[in-house]
Each structure stands twice: as C-alpha cells, then as structure tokens.
Amino acid sequence: MTETPLHHQPTPAPRRQVGGDYYFDDFEVGQTFTTRGATLTEAQILDFAWTYDPQPFHLDKVAAADWGYDGLIASGFQTLIIGFRLFYQEKIINACSLGSPGLDELRWLQPVRPDDTLHVVAEVLELRASRSKPDRGIAVLAYETRRQNGDVVLPYRCTHIFKLRSAPPAGDGAGGQRPVPGPDRRQEA
C-alpha cells in the first residue's frame, strides 16, 4: 500500500498528550478525525485474496467481470483492515485502547478497486464512564472509509474501551466512578 499524505487534519482535543496519543478524557462527542490516505495496488488485492478471501472477483479480472463487477475488486475485509490501520497510524487510540466488544452497522457500499486511495473519517458519537472499572470509559465512534473522490465505501460503528489518563483515587466520593465532564457526555448510573 502506498502512503499518500491526504486529508491529515485530526481535530485537536483539549488536554492532548504530547506525542499525539489521546485518552478517554481527551475525546468530545462530535469530535472528528480524518486520516491520511493509502493507495491500494492490484498486487496487494491479489495477495490478500489468495491468503484470506479467495473469491473469484478478488482474484481474477475476467471472473470479476463475469460476476458483474467490471474488473477486480478488493475484499471488504481488506478494506476494513486498511481503514483500521490508517486510523491507528494517526496515534489517536494507541495509548488508550483496551480493545473493543465489537462492530455494528458494518456495510460494504461500493467496491474498492486497484489504485483507489482510501482514507477514514471518524466521529465520536458517545462517551460514558465504565460502571465497574473506574480506570476506563466506553466510546462509540462512527467510521467511514472513503475513496479519493469522497465516496463512502465502508461505514461502521465501533464500541471502544479506552483508558482514562489517570484513574480516580479510591474513596473519591463518587463510588469509584470518575465523573465525565462536559454537557455531551453521560455517566452511567
């Protein structure tokens, strides 16, 4: 994949750590991030398909045309993985990510083809403190993987578990819960 320095304008967050990494405390509902781009080559599409998704329309131009795709297309799983890598490379969640319980509303809207340049736009939809673990919070982000012309090829929502910058001290009067500041954030009861 060829890196293309497109659309690199992550929205700055308050209290952003030097070095670029965010923590749960740094995110705001409505905040958006746009990644750099990466261009997908035919060789990369073929390599991924042979290894992980050997459907004919990912492996052979003629077969792809016969299937109605008018040429070779990338695996949707490859598109998802590339989008995640692009977001991760922005160092937005690297310091705070504790994983994810899953994705929702994942759709493959349009095929991705050789020489498409992909980038990701992500928006913070929801933030809430963990009820059981005061050192973390839950964030829901909406992701859109887009090609160079702005068309959305793969949207989804991801529920993330993020570390707080610093855990509240025990006996803080909040029952071990860290209050989440800001009018758009809710704290679980």
Token pair listed for 71: 């040429």
pLDDT per residue over 144-171, tens digit each?
Answer: 999 999 999 999 999 999 999 876 655 4
Relative orientation angle of helices 76-89 and 42-52, to the nearest 10 degrees: 110
pLDDT per residue over 47-81, tens digit each?
Answer: 999 999 998 999 898 998 888 898 999 999 999 99
